[in-house]
Structure 1
Amino acid sequence: MVQTTEAQSPIAAAERLRETLGDGPVAVVTGAGISTDSGIPDYRGPDSPPRTPMTYQQFVGDPAFRRHYWARNHVGWHYMRETHPNGGHRALARLEAAGLVSGVVTQNVDTLHEAAGSHRVIDLHGRFDRVVCLSCGRTISRARLAERLAALNPRFAESVADVEVAPDADAVLASTEGFRVADCEFCGGMLKPDIVYFGENVPKERVLDAYALVDGAESVLVAGSSLTVLSGRRFVKHAAKQDKPVAIVNRGPTRADDLAALKLDTGCTEVLEALTEAYGA
């Protein structure tokens, strides 16, 4: 493995990336680090505070926990819907349009790749803009649920403004007593964000789609992920077993550094923007 830890100019870093990735097609795996420049904090970056992710068992098994979660999510939703793609997202979309990137497997739920113009996006862990009923299986938009929660809890979001928001649209609130949760308007069942929680499995069809993306690529680029969880790391391991070059752009170490042909310890935006210039995209 070739690992780069010293500071490099974005242009020099992009040239090294191009040498490693080749002429494509390139499959891209992204994590929270690509969205930090859009104002969404990273879960596991070097400067990120410790977090305890919610589990599926907590959500479905404890009404009080579920109320607390939906109150925080209600606040986080108002923040997340105002975020916009940054230069890194747009750079990947341009590289796809130029035929160099074949698709993106993202561990993020923020939908910013799609907003930036990427067409083949596999939302590995789901999307924050959808809600699913665990009883009847109907899917509704998070915007529709926001209207219902606002009607049930007037001025709640405004009363707790300026709070920290996590990458899954969760907000940090001290107290959520009195918040009223909305059930499915069709069957009265339990509503859950269409996001894969700890304790859940990524749907099999998404996993197979991601493997197929890697199978059809000549190389893999990881952008903004520490690859701590297996759900994203397995695709890098899959590429390495096929002797396909893997390049990683991420602040801090990752759990796949030993598999990388190139590791750049830096942020994503400037390097990915420079990569579009290096490829003439």
Structure 2
Amino acid sequence: MIDKIAGYLSQSNKAVAFTGAGISTESGIPDFRSPGGVWSRYQPVLFQDFLTSGDARRQYWQMKKEAYRELKGAKPNSGHRALAALEAAGKLAAVITQNIDGLHQDAGSKRVLELHGTSRYCICLKCDARYDPDLVQERLESGVEVPLCDKCGGLLKSATISFGQQLPQDVLSEALDLCLQTDLILAIGSSLVVEPAASLPLQAKQNGGRLVIINKTETPLDDLADVIVREPIGETLTRVVHDLGLH
């Protein structure tokens, strides 16, 4: 399977990677859906509830406070580094990710489309002021339950996308264009069930691209895949990079 993926990449002019939480579990970040993950302890807070309910905001920030501890200090793993190496060698056009951890950028990837936003800053929903999440975390740790903007008193929120919140349309549009143009998409560490993001690999396949799935569990697109790999992501991608003669 490794040589087949490497062969596909050699033949491709505009390959795209689509990544989910599975690529970051090897960096010590739990998949939110896995046992012990944040969502096993809390119900996700809908965006509209965040806007209208004080209780929902308190639950949201309690969840974020715990998730921050899991994200803080995480480093890119060999899977992230392999994708950065593929991009640097001209074998990968972009990374489209459902992840919010910023590890692709830390690994050196240049063109990263973050469909679900980023945990790297917080934003005021009223005046758009940005805040360092470390400073917001300090407030939460000191006992503040719902942090507010220093400038206008508006609600602060992580720059991640909540359920019921619209995805950034410019990012989604760019991602769709990439998937419609690509001749090869690598779907990595994603269950391929969270829409609309999960439909992007399907769009690529239906438009004539090859589909490679690297994921430890089955996905709804397995029957359409040209190659399926169930082995660890970092090990698999590192072997692909080596097979291509890259370092």
TM-score (normalizing by structure 1): 0.80
- Higher relative contact order, chain-length normalized (CA < 8 Å, sep 6+): 1
User: Counterpart in 1 of 2:222?
Assistant: 257
**Deviations 1:216-240, CA, capped at 9 Å, x for gaps:** 4321001100111122222112111
Q: Is 1:15 paired with 2:3?
A: yes
Q: In structure 2, what is the Cα distance between the partners aligned to 1:181 and 1:43? A: 22
Q: In structure 2, what is the Cα distance between the partners aligned to 1:238 and 1:247? A: 13
Alpha-carbon spacing, 1:78–1:233, altered in 2? closer, same or farther (3 Å): closer
Q: Is the 2:181–2:204 contact (alpha carbons within 8 Å) kept by the matching residues of 1?
A: no
User: Counterpart in 2 of 1:131?
Assistant: 122
CA deviation after TM superposition for structure 1 residue 20, in Å: 4.0
Q: Is the 2:102–2:118 contact (alpha carbons within 8 Å) kept by the matching residues of 1?
A: yes
Segments of structure 1 that go 5 or more residues without pairing to the other structure are: 1-12, 154-178
User: Counterpart in 2 of 1:224?
Assistant: 189
User: Counterpart in 1 of 2:154?
Assistant: 189
Matching residue's letter, 1:14 = I
SS at match of 2:11: coil
Q: In structure 1, what is the Cα distance between the partners aligned to 2:145 and 2:191? A: 36
Residue of 189, 204, 229 corresponding to 2:169: 204
Q: Is 1:37 paired with 2:26?
A: yes
Q: In structure 1, what is the Cα distance between the partners aligned to 2:187 and 2:107? A: 18
Q: In structure 2, what is the Cα distance between the partners aligned to 1:141 and 1:32? A: 23
Residue of 7, 28, 43 corresponding to 2:17: 28
Q: Is the 1:21–1:246 contact (alpha carbons within 8 Å) kept by the matching residues of 2?
A: no
Q: In structure 1, what is the Cα distance between the partners aligned to 2:145 and 2:31? A: 29
User: Counterpart in 2 of 1:213?
Assistant: 178
User: Counterpart in 2 of 1:169?
Assistant: none
| Bigger Rg over Cα | 1
Q: In structure 1, what is the Cα distance between the partners aligned to 2:48 and 2:10? A: 44
Q: In structure 2, what is the Cα distance between the partners aligned to 1:103 and 1:244? A: 15
Residue of 109, 124, 140 corresponding to 1:118: 109
Q: In structure 2, what is the Cα distance between the partners aligned to 1:243 and 1:84? A: 35
Q: Is the 2:81–2:108 contact (alpha carbons within 8 Å) kept by the matching residues of 1?
A: yes
Instruction: Tell me which moved more, 29-38 or 200-209.
Output: 200-209
Alpha-carbon spacing, 1:219–1:37, altered in 2? closer, same or farther (3 Å): same
Q: Is 1:280 paired with 2:245?
A: yes
Q: In structure 2, what is the Cα distance between the partners aligned to 1:102 and 1:216? A: 11
Residue of 236, 239, 247 corresponding to 1:271: 236
- What does 1:84-163 correspond to in 2, within 5 Å? 84-150=75-141, 152-153=142-143
Aligned-residue identity in percent: 35
Q: Is the 1:133–1:139 contact (alpha carbons within 8 Å) kept by the matching residues of 2?
A: yes
Q: How many residues align?
A: 242
Q: Is 1:70 paired with 2:35?
A: no
CA deviation after TM superposition for structure 1 residue 193, in Å: 0.8
Matching residue's letter, 2:20 = G
**Deviations 1:185-210, CA, capped at 9 Å, x for gaps:** 11101111111111112111011111
CA deviation after TM superposition for structure 1 residue 86, in Å: 0.5
Q: Is the 2:9–2:91 contact (alpha carbons within 8 Å) kept by the matching residues of 1?
A: no
**Deviations 1:151-182, CA, capped at 9 Å, x for gaps:** x43xxxxxxxxxxxxxxxxxxxxxxxxx5322
SS at match of 2:93: strand
Q: Is the 2:213–2:228 contact (alpha carbons within 8 Å) kept by the matching residues of 1?
A: yes
Alpha-carbon spacing, 1:145–1:44, altered in 2? closer, same or farther (3 Å): closer
**Deviations 1:62-101, CA, capped at 9 Å, x for gaps:** 2122113213322432331211000000000011100001
Q: In structure 1, what is the Cα distance between the partners aligned to 2:114 and 2:139? A: 26
Q: Is the 1:87–1:269 contact (alpha carbons within 8 Å) kept by the matching residues of 2?
A: yes
Q: In structure 2, what is the Cα distance between the partners aligned to 1:76 and 1:54? A: 14
